């Protein structure tokens, strides 16, 4: 158990470092490059990743779980390199077709470079899988964060020098090369070409491959559907607004879900049914990030002006809409982690398929009817709500999970959110079009965040007290606050120890 917790801590640390580096890089590059540069690279990477996903084998996952993985390393490396070679050829040959689909001729040389990076990744030392199997996540942390740091260090100076999307591509190439070299430096294994154990590896990876395809549709269908109609510039604005609005989910919920996965897995090994805990945990995470979601949405003008600059003014309204997808994202992340940890991988696959189908159909329909980015953003945010509903329904069907247990807490959180937004709007702090400088916009954003936190917490606790202080996330929060303030000595503040 202790090794699991330590390993989860390293994973969370790696994700947070990676996300922080990516965020800093994006914010700097947004002031140097134009939206069309981001849109062009997004089109190319989306197409390349889609081709890679079609041949995803899940070799490392298979080796981690296989009791005799050392014997299979050569086979795994041979399959890995063969897959990478095929992927590179397909991306290179299909580059003109992709350029035609996106109506962007500049895609051809960009995709040729990405094809070469796929081949570089295929040559990585498969021996590093031992770090995962032996739970040496400290080694993984260095291996994953080092190339990412180098990528940021290369991309930003080149962007300042070249003022072109080629800086983004140079950073990708340097990162892939650095990682490939590091894999041979940190692990002594040296691969040989043979396929003696391919049958043992092939039997494991079907559900991993299938789930990765479904997740690919969810994560990457936006550029494919929106790119031809919006062009590189419109797509760049939309995608960067989506990234900014998704910060509560990507920077807080996703790392928390990674750590929860380790805890759920440990509970499963000990014979404890963790599926019942998933909705309550997800609700607690939702309550925790709602003040940040309110701040990003209501203060979207200030957030964009402070972080991205005047070139991205079109993103202000999009961020205000897209931020609300974070209300439901905790349920998708936590339930998915619970399903996988409890061995319900087929249900996790079905949930991903259902959610991806809904999103793809919704985006295709809305683009056929309109090209207005605000409507597209509203549809995207609605799709996240549908995704969470699909995951919860499949979780409920898998085990004895009662969703009505979280209904009261969810309604109280929504009530507190609505009141907070109305207060911010009435005092003139919400949904303003902003053309301030970065420092002034940042200070206004801090003010909105402070007011949002105070009003939201006051309303949430008031609604909980009126409801009779039921068990739930508010109970844990109130116990924590009261114990820190040493107010439990007074009977009025004493909270009954309900479970």
Residues shown for the chain: 499
Task: Give the integer Cα–Cα distance in Å for 109 and 125.
Answer: 28
Q: How crowded is residue 292: how many other Cβ atoms within 10 Å of its Cβ?
A: 19
Residue 380: what pLDDT?
93
Task: Give residue 4's pLDDT.
Answer: 47
For 436-445, what is each residue's pLDDT tens digit?
Answer: 887 888 899 8
For residue 185, what pLDDT is reported? 84
Q: d(Cα 77, Cα 128) in Å, to the nearest integer?
A: 11
pLDDT reported for residue 488 = 46
- What CA–CA distance (Å, rounded) separates 300 from 282? 25
pLDDT at 489: 47
Residue of 388, 237, 395, 264 lying closest to 325 (CA atoms): 388
DSSP 77-92: HHHHHHHHHHHHHHHH
Predicted confidence at residue 498, as pLDDT, reads 40
Q: What percent of the chain has pLDDT over 70?
A: 78
- Coil, strand, or helix at residue 67? coil
Rounded to the nearest angstrom, the gap between the alpha carbon of residue 99 and the centroid of all alpha carbons in its chain is 27
In whole angstroms, what is the distance from residue 161 CA to residue 167 CA?
Answer: 9
Is 0.85 topped by the overall pTM?
Answer: no
Neighbour tally for 397: CB within 10 Å: 10
**Separation between Cα atoms, residue 317 and residue 325, nearest integer Å:** 14
Summarize pLDDT for 292-343 with one digit per residue, the tens.
Answer: 999 999 999 999 888 887 888 888 899 999 999 999 999 999 998 888 777 7
Phi, psi angles (nearest 5°) of residue 299: -100, 25
Helix ranges, 323-406 (H): 329-341, 345-369, 373-398
**pLDDT for the residue 298:** 94
**Six-digit token pair at 187?**
């692990």
The pLDDT tens digits of the residues spanning 387-401 come to 999 999 888 876 667
Instruction: Using pLDDT thresholds of 50, 70 and 90, give the confidence band for residue 236.
Output: confident
User: Sorting pLDDT into bands at 50, 70 and 90, what band is 262?
Assistant: low
- Tell whether the model's pLDDT for residue 50 goes beyond 80: no
The whole-number pLDDT of residue 487 equals: 47
Residue 419's closest CA among 451, 443, 382, 384?
451
The mean pLDDT value of the chain amounts to 80
- Give the model's pLDDT for residue 60: 61
Residue 14, burial from CB neighbour count under 10 angstroms (0-12, 13-18, 19+): buried
309: region left, alpha or beta (phi > 0 left; psi from -120 to 50 alpha): left
Q: What is the mean pLDDT of residues 418-439?
A: 89
Q: Rounded to the nearest 5°, which phi and psi values hold at 386?
A: -65, -40
| pLDDT (0 to 100) of residue 214 | 74
* pLDDT for the residue 55: 59
Q: From 171, 83, 179, select the one nearest 140 (Cα to Cα).
A: 179
Cα separation, 317 vs 37, whole angstroms: 21
Distance spanning both ends of the chain, measured CA to CA = 24
Task: Report pLDDT digits (tens) over 63-108.
Answer: 655 545 566 777 777 777 888 888 899 999 999 998 898 888 899 9
List helix spans (H) across 187-205.
Answer: 198-202
């Amino acid at each position: 158990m202790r090794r699991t917790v330590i390993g989860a801590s390293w994973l969370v640390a790696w994700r947070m470092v990676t996300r922080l580096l990516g965020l800093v890089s994006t914010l700097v590059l947004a002031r140097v490059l134009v939206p069309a540069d981001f849109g062009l690279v997004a089109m190319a990477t989306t197409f390349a990743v889609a081709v890679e996903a079609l041949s995803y084998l899940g070799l490392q996952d298979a080796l981690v779980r296989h009791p005799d993985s050392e014997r299979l390393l050569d086979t795994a490396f041979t399959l890995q390199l063969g897959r990478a070679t095929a992927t590179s050829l397909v991306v290179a040959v299909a580059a003109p077709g992709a350029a035609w689909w996106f109506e962007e001729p500049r895609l051809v040389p960009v995709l040729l470079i990405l094809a070469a990076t796929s081949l570089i990744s295929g040559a990585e030392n498969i021996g590093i899988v031992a770090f995962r199997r032996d739970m040496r996540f400290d080694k993984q942390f260095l291996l994953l964060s080092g190339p990412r740091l180098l990528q940021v260090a290369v991309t930003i100076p080149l962007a300042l020098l070249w003022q072109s999307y080629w800086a983004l591509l140079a950073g990708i190439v340097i990162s892939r090369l650095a990682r490939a070299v590091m894999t041979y430096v940190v692990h002594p294994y040296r691969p040989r070409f043979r396929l003696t154990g391919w049958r043992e590896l092939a039997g494991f990876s079907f559900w991993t491959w299938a789930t990765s395809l479904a997740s690919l549709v969810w994560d990457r269908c936006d550029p494919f559907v929106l790119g031809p109609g919006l062009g590189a510039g419109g797509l760049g604005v939309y995608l960067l607004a989506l990234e900014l609005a998704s910060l509560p989910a990507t920077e807080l919920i996703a790392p928390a879900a990674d750590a929860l996965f380790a805890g759920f897995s440990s509970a499963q090994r000990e014979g404890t049914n963790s599926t019942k805990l998933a909705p309550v945990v997800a609700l607690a995470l939702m309550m925790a990030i709602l003040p940040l979601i309110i701040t990003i949405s209501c203060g979207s003008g200030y957030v964009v002006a402070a972080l991205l600059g005047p070139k991205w003014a079109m993103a202000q309204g999009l961020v205000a809409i897209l931020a609300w997808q974070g209300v439901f994202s905790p349920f998708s992340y936590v339930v998915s982690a619970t399903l996988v940890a409890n061995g319900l991988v087929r249900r996790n696959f079905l949930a991903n398929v259902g959610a991806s189908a809904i999103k793809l159909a919704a985006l295709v329909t809305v683009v056929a009817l309109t090209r207005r980015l605000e409507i597209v953003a509203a549809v995207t945010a609605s799709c996240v709500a549908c995704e969470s509903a699909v995951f919860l329904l499949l979780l409920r069907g898998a085990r004895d999970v009662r969703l009505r247990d979280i209904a009261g807490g969810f309604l109280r959180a929504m009530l507190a959110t609505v009141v907070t937004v109305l207060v911010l709007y009435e005092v003139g702090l919400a949904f303003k079009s902003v053309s301030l400088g970065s420092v002034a916009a940042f200070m206004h954003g801090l003010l909105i965040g402070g007011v949002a936190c105070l009003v939201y917490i006051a309303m949430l606790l008031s609604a909980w007290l009126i409801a009779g202080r039921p068990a739930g996330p508010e109970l844990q929060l109130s116990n924590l606050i009261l114990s820190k303030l040493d107010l439990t000595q007074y009977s009025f503040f004493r909270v009954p120890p309900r479970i």
